[in-house]
Copies of this chain bind each other. A is one copy, B any other.
Amino acid sequence: MTTTALLHDFCARRGDLAARCRHCGAREFNICQALDPGLQEKLFALALRLQLGKREPVFAAGDPAHYVYNLTEGMVCLSRSLADGRRQILGFLLPGDFIGFEAGETHRCDAETLTEAKACRFERAVFDGFLQDNPETALRLLRMASSELAQAARHEVLLGRKTAVERIASFLLDLRDRSGERHLRTQPLALPMTRSEIADYTGLTIETVSRVLGRLRTDKVIELASTSAVRVIDEAALERMAGPA
């Protein structure tokens, strides 16, 4: 098999419900990474493999945090809403991302799938026990948490200090880069979220999101294959538009 074919095969197995960890397409990115086969088997035994539908809630803010999840396939959206309906989307999660680990007893944001998705679900207490017994896994999770914190910091810069154009360009580049890291298709890049969700991620309105995307298209920086897929035509321009580093 060629490298491409191998990669294709690898991706096809991503999140296969019956597959053991060593066949899991998300293994390279998620919590199981670098576990030796024995530990992987142990962790697998603790997991419930979950198949989730498109636009299905995983948990809501305030729910008791009984479980933690490791996403293996699909996209999930994390958000927090104010009582009057204003919503802030915190991030769009990709295969390998860890969801639902809380310091307290309840979840503090909403999690919903944007696409069909698969995940490994662990009982919180059981998972904590595994971490106790496997400090290198705890350290790996700590490093993943630290990456998420860095991602949140970049998002705070976007929300607090960037213009509308910079926000949209940064959003597209960030999603593309993270999708690429996870071996997902980037050209065209899937946008399974609605304009309203892009707006709530970037702190803008749907009208502004639509106008900015329209302008990027007019300027030949991107092509919109459909409303839910972009192709980056002029990468350098898009990077310039995303603002200074």
Contact = CB atoms under 8 A, between A and B. Distances in A.
Contact of A153 (B103, B108, B131, B244): B108
Interface stretch (A8-16, A35-43, A84-92, A227-235): A84-92
Q: How large is the interface on A (under 10, 10 to 19, 20 to 34, 35 or more residues)?
A: 35 or more
Nearest to A154: B80
B139 A103 contact: no
Contacts of A83: 244-245
A157 B101 contact: no
A143 interface: yes
Interface in A129-173: 131-136, 138-139, 141-150, 152-157, 159-162
Contacts of A153: 80, 88, 90, 108-109, 152
The 10 A-B pairs of least Cβ separation, nearest first, read: A160-B203, A83-B244, A159-B159, A152-B152, A145-B145, A138-B138, A135-B135, A103-B146, A88-B157, A103-B143
Interface of A: 80, 82-84, 86-88, 90, 101-103, 108-109, 128, 131-136, 138-139, 141-150, 152-157, 159-162, 200, 202-203, 243-245
